[in-house]
Structure 1
Amino acid sequence: MAMPATLRALHNLLHSKKVAAAAAMAVRLLLALMVFVFCLAEVSSDLKIDTGALHGGQLVVRAGNRRLMQDIDCGGLCNQRCSLHSRPNVCTRACGTCCVRCKCVPPGTSGNREVCGTCYTDMTTHGNKTKCP
């Protein structure tokens, strides 16, 4: 049984609209997926964690949002850092100030200041001497 021409034209029109709608939906889905991947790449590149700087249970986070930094035990880490210093009380006080401001204490009893970044290395006293031990 043959379809009349008008019915066939209507059928073809409906079929082409369904295909066009499906194609439009596929394009929207692809665009949404691309935006999601772009946002994910941006977020993952914002935060850089220095895995080589783990010491004493401390996580050093560079750049990114400061709220993501972990709270650290400044007292315990500074006592360990200043244990061999010639003036441990002065060292511990200065270290505590630097730890609170920079959220970092370098590993070991001396040196390694660059591990904590410019916040720790560039802090100076009123006499323009380096503050952080």
Structure 2
Amino acid sequence: MQTGGEGSLRPEQCAAACDYRCSATSHKKPCLFFCNKCCQKCLCVPSGTSGHKEECPCYNNWKTKKGKPKCP
């Protein structure tokens, strides 16, 4: 999977990056929804299926109204 930090993806690459990011979760549908939303905004998806959010500060720092991470 391509990495490279913030803005390293093109919008059309988000679906494939999020498919991989969400491949290990049992909550695939919400994971894909929020991952794609975050990718469209940040043009970055952290490497791996979890963690590594420091690679994408925009993705990492986007929070819900309750202060929880918005991006999987």
Whether TM exceeds 0.5 here: the answer is: yes
RMSD after superposition: 1.8
CA distance in 2, matches of 1:113, 1:70: 15
Q: Where does structure 2 lack aligned partners over 5 or more consecutive residues? A: none
Q: Determine if the alignment matches structure 1 residue 124 to structure 2 residue 63.
A: yes
How many residue pairs end up in the alignment? Answer: 71
Q: TM-score, normalised by structure 2?
A: 0.84
Q: TM-score, normalised by structure 1?
A: 0.48
User: Could you say which residue in structure 1 is the equivalent of 2:22?
Assistant: 82
Q: Which has the higher contact order (CA 8 A, sep 6+)?
A: 2
Decide whether the 8 Å contact of 2:9 with 2:44 is kept in 1: no
Q: Residue 95 of structure 1: SS of its match in structure 2?
A: helix
Which amino acid is 2:70 matched to?
Answer: K
Q: Residue 96 of structure 1: SS of its match in structure 2?
A: helix
Selected match of 2:52 from 107, 112, 127: 112
Alpha-carbon distance change, 70 to 94 in structure 1, aligned in 2, over 3 angstroms: closer
Decide whether the 8 Å contact of 2:5 with 2:56 is kept in 1: yes
Provide runs of 4+ in structure 1 moved above 4 Å. Answer: none
Higher helix share: 1
Deviation per CA, 1:79-111: give whole Å up to 9, x if none. 110011120110010100110111100011000
CA distance in 2, matches of 1:84, 1:70: 21
Q: Which has the larger radius of gyration?
A: 1
Q: Determine if the alignment matches structure 1 residue 57 to structure 2 residue 15.
A: no
